[in-house]
Every structure is written in C-alpha cells, then in structure tokens.
Amino acid sequence: MNRTTRTGLLAASLAFGMVGVGYASVPLYRLFCQVTGFAGTTQKGIGMQAPGAVTGKTMSIRFDSNHAPSLPWTFAQESNRELVTIGAQDITFYKAKNLSDKPVTGTATFNVTPSQAGKYFTKIQCFCFTEQTLQPGQEVRMPVVFFVDPAILNDPEARKIQEITLSYTFYPVDERKKQS
C-alpha cells in the first residue's frame, strides 16, 4: 500500500470515527450525568428500596413547577416544601390539567439544585419517566416517590446542603416528529 492510499484510509477512518463520536455523544453525556449527578441530574431507582431513615437527619425539599407557554395545561406542585428524613422514602404530588378541547401529550424535564445534590436524590417513581397524555379537560395527580441517599452526609461538597430544589418543566410532545 502506498503512502497516499494509507493517508487516505487514515483520514477516512478519522472522519468516520468523528461521526460515530458525534452520534454517541448525547447518550454518553446523558449516562455520564446520571452516574455522576452532573448538572443536577437525579438518580433513577425504579424498583429500588430506600436505604432506610437516618435518625435525626433531615433535609428540606422545595418543589417547583413550570410549563412551556405552548402547552395548554396548568401544572403545579401540591406542596411547596417538605422536610424529609434522609434515607427514608417519601412521596409528593404534582397536578396537571389539560385546558384544551383535544388530547395533548407532554413530557417533563427535571433538575435538582444545588447540582452537587443530584447524585444523592433518587426517584423511584416519577411521571417524568414517560410521556403523559391528558384528554380534554382531564386533571390528574402525578406522584413522585423519592429519597435522599444517606451518602450525602459523607460528601464534603454536599453534606452542608440544607435544601434541595426539585424542579419540573413540562413541554408539548411534537406528534409530527414522533411519527417520522
């Protein structure tokens, strides 16, 4: 194989590799955030049990709700703030109502602040795990079952946190993009 062919193959391999990295970057970044709690990404603990209450250790959890102006829903938390025992399973509810005259599907994104708390905030059950379709005028209560991992007490960067904010924003699902 001559030098020009070898250089061409190397350049083509490099270009192909870069395209592959480009396609893999979003799922890899999502996985990185879930593992590390980076950028306030919470842990997903479907089917998991809370580790158990740590006596005398509590955390204030503040709840926030928002929705895109293009989503014809009301969306609100039932409680603004709760004091929970670290390590114990807890539950809170959000309410959504479809104000339109047709079925509307929405999906929720979430964030936890401060961001260092993300890897210690585990959701066992959440409406944010799947898309939600509400019929015209339908109102629903949506639970979030969660716990704060006791490991937060051993992290020098996170153990001084006194309040965690769990924030959700609902967006409409573009049915046309979903079908293509």
Domain edges within the chain: 1-36, 40-179
Q: How open is the CA angle 175-143-164, to the nearest 5 degrees?
A: 105
Q: Nearest-CA neighbor of 132 among 95, 79, 89? A: 95
Q: How open is the CA angle 67-177-72, to the nearest 5 degrees?
A: 25
Report DSSP state, residue 152. Answer: G
Q: What is the pLDDT of residues 74-128, one digit of tens each?
A: 999 999 999 999 999 999 999 999 999 999 999 999 999 999 999 999 999 999 9
pLDDT of residue 6: 78
With 90 as the cut, is the pLDDT of residue 49 above it?
Answer: no
The pLDDT confidence band at residue 5, using thresholds 50, 70 and 90, is: confident
Q: 40-179 belongs to which CATH class?
A: mainly beta
